[in-house]
Amino acid sequence: MTFMVEFFPVGCADTLGKIGLLVKARRLALGVRQADLKEAIGVSPHVLRKIESGSELVDLRSFMLVLWRLGLSDVVFTSLDDLEKRSQITRFAQDDDAAVGIAAKRVRLAKPKPEAF
């Protein structure tokens, strides 16, 4: 687990960088100051700077609120449209009724046997 704490995939960093530029461009195009966003959604200017710079060290709630407030949620997550219709979720499940029950599914690890110790 230590590996993933110290490592962040380049593809993910590139995507966050592009989203950050998109956020800043939209904010500037709308004439919205960082202080205006702070007042509107309660996200600090420090967090906004991190989002706009593509930092991976931003909480998901703040990230999503900024995208929503600037009207970018649909732009950033456009590939999620009609996800069930395109079967991108259900293709990972085994049963026919997967779309209904997939949220309740989880991975269970086998319980260790006493002789394993």
- pLDDT tens-digit map of 30-64: 999 999 999 999 999 999 999 999 999 999 999 99
User: Tokens in use for 26?
Assistant: 């939209």
Q: Is the dihedral of CA 104, 62, 39, 68 positive or negative?
A: negative
The pLDDT of residue 112:
83
CA-wise closest residue to 18 among 72, 93, 79, 98: 72
If phi > 0 it is left, if psi is from -120 to 50 it is alpha, else beta; for residue 47 that is: alpha
Query: Do 70 and 80 form a contact (C-beta atoms < 8 A)?
Result: no
Distances (CA, A) of 40 to 2, 34, 35: 37, 10, 9
The domain defined by 7-80 carries CATH number 1.10.287.3510:
no
Q: How many other C-beta atoms can be found within 10 angstroms of the C-beta atom of residue 66?
A: 24
The pLDDT of residue 1:
46
What is the distance between the alpha carbons of residues 57 and 41, in angstroms, rounded to a whole number? 19
The pTM of this model reads 0.69
The pLDDT of residue 106:
75
Q: Quick one: pLDDT band at residue 29, thresholds 50, 70, 90?
A: very high
The 10s digit of each residue's pLDDT in 59-117 is 999 999 999 999 999 888 877 666 656 655 566 555 555 555 666 777 788 888 887 76
| Domain residue ranges of the chain, discontinuous segments joined by + | 7-80
